[in-house]
Amino acid sequence: MNDSSSRVVVITGGSKGIGRTIALRFAHEKARIVILHYDVDESASESTLKMLSQRGIGAESHKVDVSSFAAVEGIFKDILSRFQRIDVLINNAGITKDTLLMRMTEADWDAVININLKSVFNCTQNVIRSMVKQRGGKIVNISSVVGQIGNAGQANYSASKAGIMGFTKTVAREVAARGINVNAVAPGFIDTDMTAVLPEKIKETFIQQIPLGRFGQPEDVAETVYWLCSDAASYITGQVIHVSGGMYM
């Protein structure tokens, strides 16, 4: 079971996919894990909590729209009042609303920017004072290779992921002297619900753009995230680590 010396790890979008796999990776060190997710259907987050409990981890999940500053402020106040600290923040929640720019609505743009990018501000802003006070912390933001190279049909998504890269580097500079590491991980195409909706033909086209010739697994991303949060990576900050099978070099 966890004890009060275990790290407190908050993972947005931890109910499934990459976020769930990151949570399971932190279970190896018996971290105290808090998952934020938003779907009204609680079955994914319940499955994640069950998997963590089978590994002896007493985790919790909360239904919070991370694009709402007020909602995020409320949950972070609650977590900090109960645990007294947050050691690791993984900004992972994200959505896509893909369509060509000519067809993209203002609502498609706003939803993706708010959930993917504004959420990173909301969560980081609400955790940073406590990390500064405790003179340490790890923040990893999940970006995407398309934030660097672009992708037709993803103007909103690639802008949000490029924004995360700039945010990461700036905050890394602001808090480095306080012993806080802020990095981003940029996955390529990873096998999750997000990519499961792609037609097979499109997937085949994408695979041709991947030097390693296959989609990645959530574990590929989770290992990198976990390493960035370990002492082994304590001299790394403000970086964007690509986990994309070589799509970006």
**Residue 189 interacts with ligand NAP (CB under 6 A): yes or no:** yes
**Residue 48 interacts with ligand NAP (CB under 6 A): yes or no:** no
Pick the piece of the chain touching ligand NAP (CB under 6 A) from 87-95, 125-133, 166-174, 197-205: 87-95
Distance CA 1, CA 202 (A): 44
Q: Which of 90, 112, 190, 225 binds ligand NAP (CB under 6 A)?
A: 190
* 248 catalytic per annotation: no
Distance CA 48, CA 119 (A): 22
**Residue 94 interacts with ligand NAP (CB under 6 A): yes or no:** yes
DSSP letter for 216, please.
Answer: B
Distance CA 39, CA 193 (A): 14
**Residue 144 interacts with ligand NAP (CB under 6 A): yes or no:** yes
For ligand NAP, which is the closer residue by CB, 19 or 163?
19
- The structure tokens 């700039």 sit at 166
- Residue 83: CB atoms within 10 A of its CB come to 16
Q: Which of 6, 8, 10, 17 binds ligand NAP (CB under 6 A)?
A: 17
> Two tokens at 90?
């993984």
Distance CA 148, CA 35 (A): 28
Q: Which of 3, 106, 193, 200 binds ligand NAP (CB under 6 A)?
A: 193
| Beta strands, E only, the chain | 8-12, 32-37, 60-63, 88-91, 137-142, 180-187, 240-243
What's the min distance (Å) between Cβ of 80 and ligand NAP?
Answer: 19
What's the min distance (Å) between Cβ of 133 and ligand NAP?
Answer: 26
The residues with which 91 forms a beta bridge, in sequence order, are 141
Helix (H/G/I), strand (E/B), else coil: 169: helix
**Residue 147 interacts with ligand NAP (CB under 6 A): yes or no:** no
Q: Which of 51, 104, 149, 194 binds ligand NAP (CB under 6 A)?
A: 194
Distance CA 39, CA 68 (A): 14
> Two tokens at 242?
């690509």
**Residue 16 interacts with ligand NAP (CB under 6 A): yes or no:** yes
Q: Which of 33, 93, 120, 123 binds ligand NAP (CB under 6 A)?
A: 93
For ligand NAP, which is the closer residue by CB, 134 or 148?
148
Residues at the interface with ligand NAP (CB under 6 A): 12-13, 15-19, 36-39, 44, 64-67, 92-95, 115, 142, 144, 187, 189-190, 192-195
